[in-house]
Structure 1
Amino acid sequence: MASPVSPGDVPIPNLTDANCAVKEIVECIQSFQSYSVGEEQVGFSVRDIIKAGSLGHGTSVEGNYDIDLVIYSTEISAYDVLRAESHFQPWLRRIYHFLANNLKGFKFEALKNRSLQFIYHHTSSCVIKVDLLVSPYWESCEDFYNFLKKIPEDKRTIFTVCASRWQREFMSRQPPIVKNFIRQAKKWRDDTWPEGKGCEGRPSSYLISLLVIKAYNIARSQRISFAEGIIRLVHRKMLNVHWGRRGKKKQDMKNRFYTPKQQIKLLPSRPRVIDPANPANNVWVSGIAGYKPGERAGNYDGGDG
């Protein structure tokens, strides 16, 4: 039986300092309290904080492992986010003021509609970019999907961040060989679209990860090489990446949160790479970004997958 070829070894960066930085930031945020001054709400409760992105997924490459943190709160109303012109910014502004006064080493960069971007000076030799995001908290992914069905289709991309906890769970189930392929692909991406120079069409780390995972499974099931699998996948005019076959056929992924049939009302049209954690998120669209020179490549304001 043919199998995907063993990938060349892509070094896993030393993340000791980055993980220590995450620990310090999280400990600070955990002291963030919900309280009011007069009639103004100042804080909000923190239900959970997760390490998302490449660092949380275990697919970081040397020189490109910005920290993505997502704060979940039961005091953030999804409908308030929907009504707010600036989406998550009212809650991000609160956490910004708190961190500016309480996190030593904090240096503000930008406050966007969906993220607070800052630099964290962990040590003199460890300075790390951080994207901090906030999200309402749902007890289950089914509750989240039911919410998405109730809102207009063009508003669903606002809430891509909310699936971060399930995205991380999905990525945690991937074997080391797949994560090594992902690091290879990301290294190619970083060489082709250098960060900081500005360009169009740069694929997000999450889009790369999903394409690699699907190509690896195609290669195994069809007994071809991984290279053949990725070429067959991305050259399809009507790309259709989802995480389970329809009907009663054997499912091709073990760790899924829904079947296409269950969430057919949320599925985007082709070409599509459907987020295994969020059936409304077409990562083929949300995971292709353009950015200006000096901007961060991962811009969540565009609905980054």
Structure 2
Amino acid sequence: MASNFSRQEPWNLSQENLQEWFQDNVEEGSRSFAVESNKSMDDLVRFLHNMPDMKTKGPKAKPVKVKEVRKGGSIEKGTFYKDGSDLDCVVVLNGIPKLKANTKTGKYRRGHLKPLVEKVVTALQQASFTARCEKVSNLQLKVYAKQETGGILEIDILFTGNNLDYNYIDDEVTMQRILSTPYNTMLNMPPKSQRFIYQPCLTPLQTEFVKSQPGNVKSLIRLVKYWKAEYLHQRQTEKLINSYTLELITIYVYEEEMGSPDRFDLGEGFKRVLSLLAYKLGGFQHYWDNFYSDETAQRGMKLKDMMKRPILLDPADPSDNVLQRWKKGLGTISEIARETLQTPLLRSIHVN
């Protein structure tokens, strides 16, 4: 299969022709995809906002309202690729008890979110824009939305209580101060607890981190996503890594290996990303200090249930090593990255 790919575009092109090919085949198609996807996302967000109030179960049932629906994923970040984009939105519910470090996961899920999520599934299955809707977990749904072109768009919906009260402020010191209390609560939770219930609340920070990157970095991310969709997943049908993790790896390469230049060659950036995946993941360790301090990051990297190298801390969540859940597939990813580096395109690219 590798030799077949080597005879196909862009893998059989030279470095000089990559930019033009990328513009014609990735950028242009992605723009039209973004327009249609935004319409589907807007339909879904409107529907969720207009849902009638719900109630928790039990003798002390309380009214629950949709407080906010936050769009996320690659469309919102500006890193979309037509056949490899992750689309999601977070539904923040009022009336759900605030989480504390000693909250019991099972009680929280069964007593509050689970019955509400089931009601949302029933409602979405009857919506005119929905082809189908399925429950992934007690905290997540997957909606298959109809598109005007006849296609189907997959959108993940994540549910959470109003656990983190913050508004994004473009000041790192202020954001670190605002977020220090919830981060400490998460880091104080025992292993395999419900830190994950906090995580949907952090989606806007993940989005803002990627969205704030320069346009040429977003283009590089789109090329990496093209490789993921058209090469990596053609070689291996099992999902080996998600788009967000590849976004963070690409940003790391731009900042740490390329020195955050104002301008850079797309092919050179791509080769550097593949080289990291191929040869440098084993002992990898990195974090960002945009939203949490160095001290908080060090605490996160000491969590026994998550922190074994390679470590790449989520810039929005010091308790989450984004590489942890993909460790089983990292060997395969490295193998396929090395294979890609042997194609005519990558061999033609010289990195200083």
Short-chain TM bin: 0.7 to 0.9
| Contact 2:81–2:226 (CA under 8 A) maintained in structure 1 | yes
| Contact 1:182–1:212 (CA under 8 A) maintained in structure 2 | yes
Match of 1:144 in 2: 182
Secondary structure of the corresponding residue to residue 145 of structure 2: strand
Instruction: Give 1:13's match in structure 2, choosing from 19, 31, 42.
Output: 31
Aligned residues: 273
Secondary structure of the corresponding residue to residue 323 of structure 2: helix
In structure 1, what is the Cα distance between the partners aligned to 2:273 and 2:213?
17
Secondary structure of the corresponding residue to residue 187 of structure 1: helix
Q: 1:73 to 1:6 in 2, by over 3 A?
A: farther
Match of 2:121 in 1: 96
Q: Look at both structures and tell me which one has the larger radius of gyration over its CA atoms.
A: 2
Question: What's the TM-score once normalised by structure 1's chain length?
Answer: 0.76
Q: 1:38 to 1:136 in 2, by over 3 A?
A: closer
Aligned 1:80-119 pairs, distance under 5 A: 82-84=105-107, 88-101=113-126, 103-113=127-137, 114-119=139-144
Give the Å deviation of 1:275.
0.4
| Contact 2:71–2:90 (CA under 8 A) maintained in structure 1 | yes
CA deviation map 1:3-51 (0-9, x unaligned):
xx99733313312221111111111111123344996859732222122
**Partner amino acid for 1:238?**
G
In structure 2, what is the Cα distance between the partners aligned to 1:193 and 1:43?
46
Give the Å deviation of 1:157.
5.5
Tell me the C-alpha RMSD between the 2 structures: 3.3
Match of 1:27 in 2: 46
Match of 1:251 in 2: none
Matched, 1:183 2:217: no
| Contact 2:140–2:159 (CA under 8 A) maintained in structure 1 | yes
Instruction: Give 1:230's match in structure 2, choosing from 266, 273, 280.
Output: 273
Aligned 1:1-305 pairs, distance under 5 A: 8=19, 9=22, 10-11=26-27, 12-14=30-32, 15-36=34-55, 44-77=64-97, 78=99, 82-84=105-107, 88-101=113-126, 103-113=127-137, 114-123=139-148, 125-137=150-162, 138-140=164-166, 141-156=179-194, 158-159=196-197, 160-194=199-233, 198-199=237-238, 202-221=240-259, 226=269, 229-230=272-273, 233-234=276-277, 235-236=279-280, 237-244=282-289, 256-267=290-301, 268-287=307-326
Q: 1:227 to 1:38 in 2, by over 3 A?
A: closer
Name whichever structure is richer in strand by fraction.
Answer: 1
| Contact 1:7–1:177 (CA under 8 A) maintained in structure 2 | no
Q: 1:262 to 1:157 in 2, by over 3 A?
A: closer
In structure 2, what is the Cα distance between the partners aligned to 1:6 and 1:166?
36
Paired-residue identity, %: 19
| Contact 2:86–2:243 (CA under 8 A) maintained in structure 1 | no
| Contact 1:203–1:287 (CA under 8 A) maintained in structure 2 | yes
Name whichever structure is richer in helix by fraction.
Answer: 2
CA deviation map 1:34-87 (0-9, x unaligned):
344996859732222122122222111122335311111232334678234857
In structure 2, what is the Cα distance between the partners aligned to 1:166 and 1:180?
21
| Contact 1:96–1:116 (CA under 8 A) maintained in structure 2 | yes
Unaligned runs of 5+ in 1: 245-255, 291-305
Unaligned runs of 5+ in 2: 1-15, 167-178, 302-306, 330-352
**Partner amino acid for 1:27?**
R
| Contact 1:54–1:65 (CA under 8 A) maintained in structure 2 | yes
In structure 1, what is the Cα distance between the partners aligned to 2:249 and 2:57?
51
